[in-house]
A and B are shown apart, each in its own frame.
Chain A
Amino acid sequence: MPETPDLTSLYRRMLLIRRFEEQVDELYRGAKMPGLAHLYIGEEAVAVGVCAALRDDDYITSTHRGHGHCLAKGAAVDRMFAELLGREAGYCRGKGGSMHIADQERGNLGANAIVGGSAGIATGAAMSARWRGTDQVAACFFGDGALGQGLLYEAMNMASLWRLPAIYVCENNLYNEYTHYSETTAGDLAARSRAFGIETVEVDGQDVVAVHEAAAAAVARARAGDGPSFLLCHTYRYLGHHVGDVDRSSYRSRDEEESWRRERDPIALLAGRLTASGAARPDQLEALDEEVRTEVAGGVAFALAAPFPDPSEVTEDVYA
């Protein structure tokens, strides 16, 4: 079992994701970023809680909404921004962009722009870890939308059959793009993985401590050779499907959004806990926020000044 993480460091990591994503939104609005991005604001506790239970050499696969997973697994904000801006210094040398950030040194096998598309990859990484005799595990992040994809069920079946060290992390943020999951997903969400004999736990995805506890238990099971787990994390996407989805009135109300922000914000919830227990004073948390803002500002300044790839690189790395 990993030791109980320092809650202040979890707080800082969630805050880093929040400020990073706010900056991405600003880059988009300022027309400084090519393309789109899918922001993770509101869901920070899931990525941070799960990744805090992982080692550097454990694997993750991520989604189109992947910035949070990358940062939670230890990616640097400057190289993240550089990738989002299509610069040579980016994690993928400008070839991947927002939806394909991979960070091999920290076990991040890549964000994935196909919903549910990495279920096989994560399961295969778990298989290879087992096969190579290591005790590495693989965490597969996906949203409620991926519950509509057959690949996930094929992969979970094999993971359970072969008792692979895989952790399936479903971030139920309530919306498959612009459609409430209840309109697309029949039956009980948690019954799906249970039907494969996979240990399944429902978690409050706004409570980073609860997420971490559930993830740590799943990781321990996986390392011990006891097979895969499924964490169903209930969370909420504060913003639109992507940065351009600003008018969301066709699928949800402003009241709904505001009540999540007001009552269920993962960062505010942890701040309350830290100050109530005396683990941190409000001014210390303020100072932490300043530090994070400085890091993000430094990262974006680096990326904006960073050179683009040489055009000749377009034909590099097509074949290994």
Chain B
Amino acid sequence: MSTPSAAPGGVRELTLGQAVREALAEEMRRDQAVIVLGEDVAEAGTPFKVLKGLVEEFGTQRVIDTPISEAGFTGIALGAAMTGLRPVVDIMFGDFLTLVMDQVANQAAKVHYMSGGKLRAPMVIRTTLGATRRSAAQHSQSLHAWVSHVPGLKVALPSTPADAKGLLKTAIRDDGPVVVFEDKMSWQVRGPVPGGEYLVPFGVADVKRAGRDVTIVATSSMVHAALEAAGELAREGIDAEVIDPRTTVPLDCDALVASATRTGRCLVVDEGHQRYGVTGEIAAVITEGAFYHLDAPVQRLGAMDVPVPFSPVLEDQTVPSPAAIAACARALVRGER
């Protein structure tokens, strides 16, 4: 485990993975009811080593290795959540959400409502999204739209180490089920993380780059691609705003609409499949809210509607690239869309 470079009392540079681990450790110290369970979460610290070191501090009673039974341990986490614990479930790949959908969508999401508000399921499901790791079709999907569709679930998509820490802490303290998607390609990305205690509230978008000419709404992995595109556009004299909703549920509709109203042009970028996805929902929200201030139809860029292929030559095409984002934004500003 690398030691984060510490500036006393101030901002440190951490990787997103380190920020996640710090959030878990802080919450586990604060609240005995917080436990972590999943496949290879204890001594192995997950195959990605994101949780490395956690079991040494909290022991195997609180960092619990499970069999390869995603539905089973997610259901067990739910039962534990309903009876006094605050489990954080590790679903190693977002693709494995398919294995736990009954427990998540039929059970956890609905138990509070179905019981007339009596039962609660304060649990977090940490999982991943993101392609381009050469992991092919069953380890590369970004399925956050699936869970965003289900009332009763909150969905967080951190793009930076600081957001990853603050959103996860908020998720753990939420009294209902929250699904947190971490971009597996971002775990090693470094960024500033405030020292001391802080939370990032749900439903509050964050302007990652202020700009006047065009709004790029981007989520998770696509925030980095959008910022790179904005840099390219800036060299051409186009001033793009990059705004990150940070949670798809709840969605900060007001901030997204306000940004699009200000710039008059909007592009939505997300790594989920474009069809029936997050880009469509956000584009509709902005169109409904900002229609009379828009100079052009809201554009969207999602992942191609194909299974994620293995060969890099094929795979890289499927995800919106900084160049594609810049091209789309440029066309919007030039009145070509």
Q: In the complex, which residue of chain B has the Cβ closest to the Cβ of A138?
A: B79
A contact residues around B304 at 8 Å (CB): none
B contact residues around A92 at 8 Å (CB): 114-116, 118
* A108-137 at interface with B (beta carbon < 8 Å): 109-110, 112, 114, 117-129, 131-132
Q: Is the CB of A120 within 8 A of B74?
A: yes
B281 CB–A CB distance under 8 Å: no
- CA–CA, A219 and B147, complex, Å: 38
Q: Is the CB of A114 within 8 A of B106?
A: yes
* Candidate in A112, A316, A317, A320 with the most chain B CB atoms within 10 angstroms: A320
A contact residues around B122 at 8 Å (CB): 320
Q: Is the CB of B72 within 8 A of A151?
A: yes
B326 CB–A CB distance under 8 Å: no
Q: A92-B118, A110-B119 are in contact. Are A125 and B80 (CB under 8 A)?
A: yes
B154 CB–A CB distance under 8 Å: yes
B317 CB–A CB distance under 8 Å: no
Q: Is the CB of B69 within 8 A of A102?
A: no
- Chain A: interface size category: 35 or more
Report which of A109, A123, A151 forms a contact with B102, defined as CB distance below 8 A: A151
* Candidate in B71, B114, B151 with the most chain A CB atoms within 10 angstroms: B114
Q: Is the CB of A128 within 8 A of B116?
A: no
Chain B: interface residue total (CB-CB under 8 A):
42
B291 CB, nearest partner CB in chain A, Å: 26
Q: A93-B117, A114-B102 are in contact. Are A320 and B112 (CB under 8 A)?
A: yes
B85 CB–A CB distance under 8 Å: yes
Q: A109-B82, A109-B119, A110-B119 are in contact. Are A158 and B114 (CB under 8 A)?
A: no
Q: Is the CB of A117 within 8 A of B107?
A: yes
Q: Is the CB of B112 within 8 A of A121?
A: no
B73 CB–A CB distance under 8 Å: yes
Q: Is the CB of A119 within 8 A of B107?
A: no
A141 CB, nearest partner CB in chain B, Å: 14
Q: Is the CB of B106 within 8 A of A124?
A: no
B84 CB–A CB distance under 8 Å: yes
Shortest beta-carbon contacts, A-B, top 3: A120-B75, A124-B79, A154-B72
Q: A118-B107, A318-B152 are in contact. List 17 more A-B contacts (CB 8 A).
A: A92-B116, A93-B116, A96-B116, A109-B119, A120-B76, A120-B78, A121-B75, A123-B72, A123-B75, A124-B75, A124-B83, A125-B83, A131-B61, A132-B85, A151-B103, A155-B75, A158-B67
